[in-house]
Amino acid sequence: MVEKIRDTLRQYARLNRDVSAISEDADLYAFGLTSHATVNLMLGLEDAFQVEFPERMLRRRTFETIANIRESIEELTSGQTASAS
């Protein structure tokens, strides 16, 4: 999953550094992620993982690190089973 997130970052986030070299906990905003690029990143992630970010996730923190993105997507993809229980 993290590789797929990195691919999407490469495509849409327009960071000033090699995405492979960014640790999961590093602040993506410090590498030049802008609010405009965040929108494209979200659209890219929604397409790559076939999810839709709910309004409550459309906050700065959700896209701050690779780890935060992973957690959000995990929550959204496991949501189908969780909501059934």
Q: Given the rule CB under 8 A, which residues bind other proteins?
A: 16, 29-36, 39, 42-43, 46, 53, 55-56, 58-61
Nearer to other proteins, 57 or 66 (CB): 57
**At 54, which amino acid appears?**
P
Nearer to other proteins, 42 or 66 (CB): 42
Helix (H) or strand (E) holding 59: none
CB of 16 to other proteins, least distance (A): 5
Query: Cα separation of 49 and 51, whole Å?
Result: 5
Helices assigned H by DSSP within 14-65? 35-49
